[in-house]
Structure 1
Amino acid sequence: MANKLTINIDVDVLDPAELTADEMKAMQLAQEAANDAYAPYSNFLVGAALLLEDGSLFKGSNQENAAYPSGLCAERTALFSKSAYYPHTKIKLIAVTARRRSEQQHLPAMPCGACRQVMAEYEFKQKEPIPVLLQAADGKYHRLKSVSDLLPFQFTPDHL
């Protein structure tokens, strides 16, 4: 008989009033970033924001391209840009939101697999968890304690 491994992930489901001031600032910046998305093909606007250890905020939005594989998601746009400008500053929080161009209401947002792997790389690099705040349904938010909660079987440099 095969052994089984069970993975439990704790997700806090929060009302806006339950967010910390820093979480609210990061989510508001992610929402602003979504407005700046270049998404003429999908009309699906995604914004991400990073809260850095020094208190500064960094944002990114999805950037589409007619040659689809050439585009880039909001999370990776924010992470790569942050790394170019602040390579040694740790990330304290990643916030992600999305909306359709035709609507003002923000939708549940989940990072794609590639973004999860890149987020995991930054968590591995800084050797401490990066909490993740995701837009959820009905005006609520999901808070995860670590990127590893999004990608429990991640590939790390230790696997090389």
Structure 2
Amino acid sequence: MSKKQQVEIQFEVFENLVELPAQIQELMNSAKEAREHAYAPYSQFQVGAAILLDSGEITIGSNQENAAYPSGLCAERVAIFHCGAVFPNNKIQAMAITARSHNHELKEPIGSCGACRQSMAEYEQKQSKPIAVYFMGETGKIVKVSSVADLLPFGFDSKYL
């Protein structure tokens, strides 16, 4: 006989940037700056991501589209793969993500796509330490989860291989 169960996550909501700790404000501002460098001529949807490493270094990424759609890459994966390539021995402490549409103002927090969540989860598992994720639209509220696992319950990882 089956039994219904429920998955719960905890998250925080900040009304605006000034409510965030100073270091996370800087991180989100870096994500906003990265968003301005997105190459999004097809979707008109710009995303910026910034990652805070345990060394204090901040790395960024922005979405990069391509006329052959599967060839593009989201901002989160650009940023996290850059960290893996350039800073392989550093741990990721936090990630900030922001999005903007040229079609309408995004006032609500925009979460990462499934492929990005999976990639982020891989790095969280690799470092055996949670990665805090902050995300927002262009303006407005910011959502914080303390771990990528909160964004991807029942995630797939290397223990299944």
Give SS of 1:77's match.
helix
Alignment of 1:122-137 (within 5 A): 122-135=123-136
Query: Aligned AA for 1:108?
Result: P
Alignment of 1:52-67 (within 5 A): 52-67=53-68
Partner of 2:148: 147
Query: Aligned AA for 2:2?
Result: A
Give SS of 2:95's match.
strand
Give SS of 1:27's match.
helix
Partner of 1:87: 88
Partner of 1:25: 26
Matched, 1:13 2:9: no
Compared CA separation, residues 33 and 103, structure 1 to 2 (3 A): farther
Q: Is the 8 A contact 1:14 1:141 kept in 2?
A: yes
Q: CA deviation at 1:17?
A: 2.6
Q: CA deviation at 1:29?
A: 0.5
Count of aligned pairs: 160
Q: Is the 8 A contact 1:99 1:107 kept in 2?
A: no
Give deviations 1:8-28, integer Å, cap 9, x for gaps.
Answer: 111101122320111111110
Q: CA deviation at 1:105?
A: 6.2
Separation of aligned partners in 2, 1:46 and 1:106:
14
Give SS of 1:139's match.
coil
Q: Is the 8 A contact 2:53 2:90 kept in 1?
A: yes
Give deviations 1:85-106, integer Å, cap 9, x for gaps.
Answer: 1011000001110002366766
Q: Is the 8 A contact 1:133 1:142 kept in 2?
A: yes
Separation of aligned partners in 1, 2:26 and 2:107:
16
List alignment gaps of at least 5 residues for structure 2: none
TM-score, normalised by the number of residues in structure 1: 0.94
Query: Aligned AA for 2:4?
Result: K
Partner of 2:109: 108
Query: Aligned AA for 1:149?
Result: D
Compared CA separation, residues 136 and 14, structure 1 to 2 (3 A): farther
Q: CA deviation at 1:5?
A: 2.2
Compared CA separation, residues 137 and 104, structure 1 to 2 (3 A): closer
Give SS of 1:22's match.
helix
RMSD between aligned alpha carbons?
1.7
State the identity %. Answer: 50
